[in-house]
Amino acid sequence: MLKDSENRAVFPGDVIRDIKSVKGVTILGPGLHQNESELNSVRVTRSGSLHFKPPNVYWVEHDQKRYIPKRGDLVVGIVVKKSGDLLKIDIGASEPASLSMLAFEGATKKQKPDLQVGDLVYGKLLNAHKEMEPELVCVDSYFKAGKLGPLSNDGFVVTASLGLVYRLLDPENPILETLGKLFPFEIAVGMNGKVWVNAKSVKDVLTVIRCLEVAEAQDDKTVLDLCKQFK
């Protein structure tokens, strides 16, 4: 069983047993798939370092720089091509993802979002097969946008490690909550390692980015101590 803050080398085909879950749910990140032949275990699909984030998040970090799309991932992307009702979105993968202009809440043939090359979007991967082009949508299963959709070009996009991404997505992580008590800001965390940040002033944006940079190499307590200096 992998303990908190512990990591070890793994290789494709390895089986990780005694997986922790919360109400029967375990969150698997890149490099891992459910092992259907054995209960309470997962199978490794790529070499790297196995990581665990309490209470139930597992993923494999590796040196590969290019993002490997996974169905259900939330990603921050940039529009690189527009052709009719179809957009091509750079999500940092080997090829752009496709995004229909009709895959937004309330979108119709006559009423669609005004997106141009260079604009940013926060979307969810609907399909991510090796043999097929990744497909994005900006609605959930109830066709509601929620937090998905176009992102303001006034924001800044930074690159984060996979480990930091999972820390930020953890509802119990105190970093974003603490910053939110200091000043209002918006953030979209992509599982492709892209994080979009926007606030009322450039100073506030830079403060958030500075804290994220510190979080890459430091624990939560160190980051929180830094946050307190901005009060």
Q: What is the pLDDT of residues 4-57, one digit of tens each?
A: 445 788 888 899 988 888 888 888 877 888 888 888 889 998 888 888 878 888
3-state secondary structure the chain: CCCCCCEEEECCCCEEECCCCECCECEECCCEEECCCCCCEEEECCCEEEEEECCCEEEEECCCCCCCCCCCCEEEEEEEEEECCEEEEECCCCCCEEEEEEEECCCCCCCCCCCCCCCEEEEEEEECCCCCCCEEEECCCCCCCCCCEEECCCCEEEECCHHHHHHHHCCCCCHHHHHHHHCCEEEEECCCCEEEEEECCHHHHHHHHHHHHHHHHCCHHHHHHHHHCCC
Distances (CA, A) of 107 to 50, 147, 149, 199: 41, 16, 11, 27
Output the pLDDT for position 138. Answer: 94
Do both 160 and 140 map to the same domain?
no
Residue 137 has pLDDT above 90, yes or no: yes
Do both 140 and 193 map to the same domain?
no
Instruction: Give the model's confidence band at 2: pLDDT under 50 very low, under 70 low, under 90 confident, else very high.
Output: low
User: Do 127 and 157 meet the contact criterion of CB atoms below 8 Å apart?
Assistant: no
Phi, psi values for residue 118, rounded to 5°: 105, -15
Output the pLDDT for position 5. Answer: 45
What digits encode the pLDDT tens for the residues 181-199?
888 999 999 999 999 999 9
- Neighbouring CB atoms inside 10 A of 101's CB total 18
61-75, 85-99, 138-152, 205-219: range with lowest mean pLDDT: 61-75
How many domains does the structure of the chain reveal?
Answer: 3
Task: With respect to residue 121, please indicate whether it lies within any of the assigned structural domains.
Answer: yes
Do both 120 and 184 map to the same domain?
no
Output the pLDDT for position 6. Answer: 54
Residue keyed to tokens 């092992």: 35
Task: With respect to residue 107, please indicate whether it lies within any of the assigned structural domains.
Answer: yes
* pLDDT top residue among 200 and 142: 200
* pTM of the predicted structure, to 2 decimals: 0.74
CATH, residue 206: 3.30.1370.10
Domain region containing 86: 74-151
CATH, residue 47: 2.40.50
Task: With respect to residue 92, please indicate whether it lies within any of the assigned structural domains.
Answer: yes
Output the pLDDT for position 127. Answer: 87
Task: With respect to residue 67, please indicate whether it lies within any of the assigned structural domains.
Answer: no
Output the pLDDT for position 94. Answer: 85
Domain boundary among the residues 98, 116, 151 is at 151
Q: 186: which strand partners?
A: 198
Bridge-based pairing of strands 149-151 and 185-189 is unpaired
CATH, residue 112: 2.40.50.140
Task: With respect to residue 106, please indicate whether it lies within any of the assigned structural domains.
Answer: yes
Domain boundary among the residues 151, 178, 210 is at 151
User: Do 76 and 47 meet the contact criterion of CB atoms below 8 Å apart?
Assistant: no
Distances (CA, A) of 100 to 60, 107, 144: 31, 10, 15
What digits encode the pLDDT tens for the residues 53-103?
788 888 887 755 568 888 889 999 999 999 988 999 999 988 999 999 999
Output the pLDDT for position 77. Answer: 96
Task: With respect to residue 98, please indicate whether it lies within any of the assigned structural domains.
Answer: yes
Output the pLDDT for position 136. Answer: 95
User: Do 212 and 195 meet the contact criterion of CB atoms below 8 Å apart?
Assistant: yes
Task: With respect to residue 69, please indicate whether it lies within any of the assigned structural domains.
Answer: no
Do both 107 and 162 map to the same domain?
no
